Amino acid sequence: DMPVLRSDPKVIRRKTFRTGKVALISGGGSGHEPLHGGFVGHGMLDAACPGQVFTSPTPDQMLAAAQAVDTGTGCLFIVKNYEGDVMNFDMAAEMSEGVQQIVTNDDVAVENSSYTTGRRGVAGTLVVEKIVGAAAEHGLALPVLKTLGERVNAATRSMGVALTSGTVPAAGKPTFDIGDGEMEFGVGIHGEPGRRRDTLKSADAIAEEICTAILGDLGDKAKGPALLFVNGFGGTPLMELYLMYN
């Protein structure tokens, strides 16, 4: 089930479709790979819309994706809570029929940022895509999938840390400055400021702060088994990810 790339407008879609299955579509700015194009396939997305680096895809990409993968039972847009993404997916939904949306907002670090009104949608988006994608393969209807996705999003929390800054190719320099012995707690996926900056901590101390923030935000919901997702965002060696997982 290798994906197919459509070049104008840019859309990554599944090669084959099953009639009667609700189509899942997501997208966002490039620079966060493998999200979202790397998760187009069986049990996950039917199509993904890649924007320019750290820039929302356009409504015509989303509209083309919906037209390409809708088999007659509708489409579900899974949208990260960034103002450009929300606005453009809203426009595409208004131009389409049989489209519903889920907006992910799992980041507990900050309530508002330079790219958002409300919480940012980050790693939890992948959890929503995986669980709702599996349900869609079993033939669940569009309203049921939307409700499921909203339940998963409401139960999902995340927080990030950064030791260095990313560099947008067009800018040619780091997005923010940070000292060799410093780290940023709660940094955003585009380099937005987090909740605080501190000296470099051990893996145990980092895990404790992240988990304390997440569990505190969940409150009474923090009971029973949990799905743990540790993401290095492409810049953390696998050995260090295993260390954080442990």
DSSP 131-191: HHHHHHHTT--HHHHHHHHHHHHHT--B--EESS--B-TTT-SBSS---TTEEEET--TTS
Distance between first and last Cα of the chain: 34
pLDDT digits (tens, 9 = 90+) for 46-74: 999 999 988 899 999 999 999 999 999 99
**What is the pLDDT, as a whole number, of residue 224?**
86
Query: What per-residue confidence (pLDDT) applies to 115?
Result: 61
Amino acid present at 178? I
Residue 25 has φ and ψ, to the nearest 5°, of -130, 135
Q: What is the reported pLDDT for 192?
A: 79
Known catalytic residues are: 32, 190
Count of residues in the chain = 246
> What is the average per-residue pLDDT within 87-93?
96
Ramachandran angles phi, psi of 52, nearest 5°: -65, 170
Between 193 and 72, the more confident residue is 72
Q: What is the pLDDT of residue 116?
A: 62
Using a pLDDT cut of 70, give the percent of the chain over it: 98
Secondary-structure breakdown of the chain: helix, strand, coil percentages, each rounded to the nearest 5: 35, 20, 45
Query: Does the pLDDT value for residue 113 go beyond 70?
Result: no
Question: What pLDDT band is residue 114 in, cutting at 50, 70 and 90?
Answer: low
